[in-house]
Amino acid sequence: MARLFSLAAISFFFLAFQAVAGSSLPVTRSIGAPVGFGAACAKYKWLCGRMAAQQRKDGAGIGLLQRINRAVNLRIIPAEDRPSSGNRDVWSLPVAGRGDCEDYALQKMKDLIEAGFPSNRLALSVVIGPHDQNHVVLIARTDGGDFVLDNLTSAVRPWRMTGYTFLATQDFQSRTGWRVTLAGPRAGEFS
């Protein structure tokens, strides 16, 4: 009986994880892009353009996501935008090995595209992170759902398992556009 209960518990956990992992971020209407995104889009053609890439099986894709997430997190030193940039939030690839959250996310997107991950399955997302601050992460869309690559953790997790409230996400298809997301524990506060 105990063995049957254990098997049932494991099956339930696996199915629950699959349900969480297998979901895509909900998006609704269009919204203006965050400050700094337009300049980054003009500077980095891979950020907003479509690039041909081979399709990967999810098993290989998740491994690639984990490797890139860890490598970029280890390679970059956290640093806020330089005071010389004024009040503007500068979205760029890391400078001199330093960067803030959107710089990490941009570097991860660039590295994944160069490694063959389809650009139309990658999007930036603005979330409410730890300590109630705005934070930018990279979303990777797989057949198994949307996964988050984050500079605050080496773990690549399904979006529902991050604890973040998602506010707006780069449009996966129209790469220059952004969509309202409003998903996560505090989403009701913003609707």
Residues in the chain: 191
Q: How far apart are CA 112 and CA 127, in angstroms?
A: 21
Residue numbers of the domain that contains 72: 23-190
pLDDT at position 40 over 70: yes
List the Cα angle 105/17/26 in 5-degree steps.
Answer: 55
Mean pLDDT of 40-54: 83
Q: How far apart are CA 179 and CA 169, in angstroms?
A: 5
Specify if 84 maps to a domain.
Answer: yes
The per-residue pLDDT for 16 is 43
Specify if 2 maps to a domain.
Answer: no
The per-residue pLDDT for 29 is 96
The per-residue pLDDT for 80 is 84
Specify if 6 maps to a domain.
Answer: no
Amino acid at the residue 144:
G
Specify if 110 maps to a domain.
Answer: yes
pLDDT at position 21 over 70: no
pTM above 0.75, yes or no: yes
Q: How far apart are CA 74 and CA 43, in angstroms?
A: 25
More confidently predicted of 6 and 190: 190
What is the total count of domains within the chain? 1
Name the E strands within the chain: 30-31, 77-78, 98-99, 122-128, 134-142, 145-149, 157-158, 165-170, 178-183
pLDDT at position 60 over 90: no
Specify if 137 maps to a domain.
Answer: yes
Count of CB atoms situated within 10 Å of the CB of 100: 20
148: domain CATH number?
3.10.620
The per-residue pLDDT for 12 is 45
pLDDT at position 15 over 70: no
Mean pLDDT of 139-162: 97
Q: What is the pLDDT of residues 65-122, one digit of tens each?
A: 999 999 999 999 999 876 555 556 899 999 999 999 999 999 999 999 999 999 999 9
Share of the chain above pLDDT 70, in %: 80
Specify if 163 maps to a domain.
Answer: yes
Q: Which residue from 1, 6, 117, 142 is spatially nearest to 64, judged by alpha carbons? A: 117
Specify if 10 maps to a domain.
Answer: no
Q: How far apart are CA 79 and CA 88, in angstroms?
A: 15
Specify if 15 maps to a domain.
Answer: no
What's the half-sphere exposure (Cβ side, CA atoms, 13 Å) at 180? Answer: 9
